[in-house]
Every structure is written in C-alpha cells, then in structure tokens.
Amino acid sequence: MKKSLTQSSLRFGVVGAGIMGRNHLRVLKSLKNVDVVGVVEPDPQRRAFAVDTYECEGFATVEELVGRVDAVCVVSPTETHEKIGTHLLKNGIHCLIEKPLAATEAECLALIEAAERADVVLLVGHIERFNPAVQQLSEMLKEGHRKIQAIDVKRMSSASSRIVDVDVVMDLMVHDLDIVLTLMADKVVDITARGVYSGGGRGKDYVTALLTFESGALACVTASRITENRIREMLVTSDLGCIALDYASQRIAVYKQNRPEFETGLGNYQFDLSMGRVLVRPGEPLVLELKHFVDCIVARKPPLVNGTAALEALRLVWEIQRRIELGNSFG
C-alpha cells in the first residue's frame, strides 16, 4: 500500500446514514484507536440524527471527505457505488463497499481497477463471510481436503420495506452464492432457476436456483422475502458427514450414520445416527468485518472479499436472473 498507517491514526468516514450506515457508525465508534470523522448523507434529517447520535461531523457530499479521512465505508444505494467508490479510491482512500459491489460488470471492473491503481484496500461487504460459524465451516472443509457432494441453503424472511429496488437474488441470495462459490472452489457449469413474483417491489421475491459444478456436485439455493418464518440455514453433504449450519444462532452440527458399536455398561448398542456439535466462538459479523478492514489497512493483509470475488458472485446473480427471465432456455 502507498500509505503507511498505524491503527491509532486511522480516520474513518461513512457514506450513507440509513439503517446499515448507522450500524457501521455504531461499530466504528466502538473500535479502539479509530477516529470517526463524519458521515455523508444528502438527507438533512438523517444526517442530523447520525451527527447527534454518533458525535461526528456531517457532510452533504463525498468530496468533503477527501483529505479528511483515510478509510470510508460506502453504505449508499447500489447505483451510487461506482461513482462514489472510484472517486474515493482514486484519491487514495481505502474503501469498504457494501454488497453488491456495483450495478453492472463495467462498474465493478472500474472499482477494481481504481483500487489497484491507487494501491489501496477494496473490501466488499459480504458480511456472512465474517459469520464465525461460516468461518469455522470453511476451516473444517479445508482440513483434509474434504469432498463436498451437495449444498442446500435456505435464506427466508418476510417482506421488508427497506429493500424495494432489487429482486431477492440480488438482495438476499447473493450472500449464499458467495459462500457456496468459496466452499466449492469449483466452476459452475449449469444453472436451473425458478422464481415467484408477489406483486410488491421489483423482481422476483422467492427464487430457487440449482447449480451444477464441474465436479458433479450440486448446490440448491433458495431465497425468499415473502416467507413469514425467518430461516437462515445451510446443509452440506460431504465425506465428513451431513453438516448443518445455522447462520443466526452461529451453530454447527455434524451428523453421521452407522457409528460403531458403543459400550454403555449395559450392553453393546449400534447407533443409527450420531450427532456432534462443533464449538464456535460467537461474534457480531459486522464487528469482525470492520476489524478485518482495519487489519487490511494497517498490516497490509489481503481482504477476505476483494473486488474480483464480489464480481464472481454478481456474475452468478445475473446469470440466475437471466435464466429465470428466459424460462431456463439455454444458449
């Protein structure tokens, strides 16, 4: 990196004072040796609320941050990411840009190039990557090069008034697509997808996509924002057993068939199914994500989710959307 910074010198800004932007401000204020300079928010009422709550300066434009900060969290609408991000990156400011990285492939590539040219950190906010259970699962599957046969993911919730500008694939499914691509580390060779439109917002509100990988493994990914019950779960079928992960509770359980005979003291018994819980140290993913961002800047570590990885997840999002609209006709 061009800048040699210590954590005690890091000056932060946040662009966007909506719900997620305020969460970024809250966490940044809790981090040691991080100075929250200010928040950029065009809406005067939102800006005033953020300034009063988090005791920082308020700015109406991104240009006012240049020269005042070392790093910025961009938590604004997706269609603004490229313009805001490239301006900050070109001015040598490290950026965490919330997912999705940008609205088009050209815009994603512009952000990636700007970060490379300025030699600054570009971290994309795929927050589930920082879920302790997801990180533990990734380590489990890497150890011994475990073979994955299938992944089944469900991310379901009721309608939200907060997100109306994108469909459920871009809104919710993108989290799990990013994780599936990371766990599989394989090429997707076929996609089948179906979706349901409820009549509210933009695009499909319930989508199931079946991905076939070059190895022959499958991933079935379902996302819904019209399901009353909130579900965040993943099942991984592997040579390690059936691994069940709950995103919300940050729990992992491993199920295995045909456990050897077990001496109970009362006789020998053959267990049909055994289950073991994996120890996961819980933590708030946003806290872990922002600490990682700081470490990337200070220690010059590569970001866990760089622009290229984020673009790969988006390419899969766009292809799933295309398959739905074409009725899964190939070509």
Q: For position 168, what pLDDT does the model report?
A: 92
Laid out side by side, the sheet with 34-40 consists of 57-59, 34-40, 10-15, 71-74, 94-98, 122-125
Q: For position 85, what pLDDT does the model report?
A: 98
Laid out side by side, the sheet with 188-196 consists of 188-196, 206-213, 218-224, 148-156, 231-238, 241-246, 251-263, 268-278
Q: For position 256, what pLDDT does the model report?
A: 86
Topology of 129-283+315-325 in CATH? Dihydrodipicolinate Reductase; domain 2 (3.30.360)
Topology of 7-125 in CATH? Rossmann fold (3.40.50)
Do strands 94-98 and 122-125 pair parallel, antiparallel, or not at all (unpaired)? parallel
Helix (H, G, I), strand (E, B) or coil at 261: strand
Do strands 206-213 and 218-224 pair parallel, antiparallel, or not at all (unpaired)? antiparallel
Helix (H, G, I), strand (E, B) or coil at 246: strand
**Tally of CB atoms within 10 A around 319:** 16
Q: Is-contact 249 277, C-beta < 8 A?
A: no
Tens of each residue's pLDDT in the chain, 331 residues: 444 466 567 999 999 999 999 999 999 999 998 999 999 999 999 999 999 999 999 999 999 999 999 999 999 999 999 999 999 999 999 999 999 999 999 999 999 999 999 999 999 999 999 999 999 999 999 876 679 999 999 999 986 645 556 789 999 999 999 999 999 989 999 999 999 988 766 778 999 999 999 999 999 999 999 999 999 999 999 988 899 999 999 999 999 876 555 555 556 666 667 778 999 999 999 999 999 999 999 999 999 999 999 999 999 999 999 999 887 444 3
Q: For position 57, what pLDDT does the model report?
A: 96
Q: For position 110, what pLDDT does the model report?
A: 98
Cα 128 from Cα 45, distance rounded (Å): 31
User: What are the φ/ψ torsions at residue 101 (nearest 5 degrees)?
Assistant: -55, -45
Q: Helix H segments across 165-272?
A: 168, 174-184
Q: Is-contact 96 293, C-beta < 8 A?
A: yes
Q: For position 329, what pLDDT does the model report?
A: 40
Domain-wise residue ranges, the chain? 7-125, 129-283+315-325
DSSP letters for 267-304? -EEEEEEEEEEEP-----HHHHHHHHHHHHHHS-PPPS
Helix (H, G, I), strand (E, B) or coil at 119: coil
Cα 246 from Cα 264, distance rounded (Å): 31
Q: For position 330, what pLDDT does the model report?
A: 40
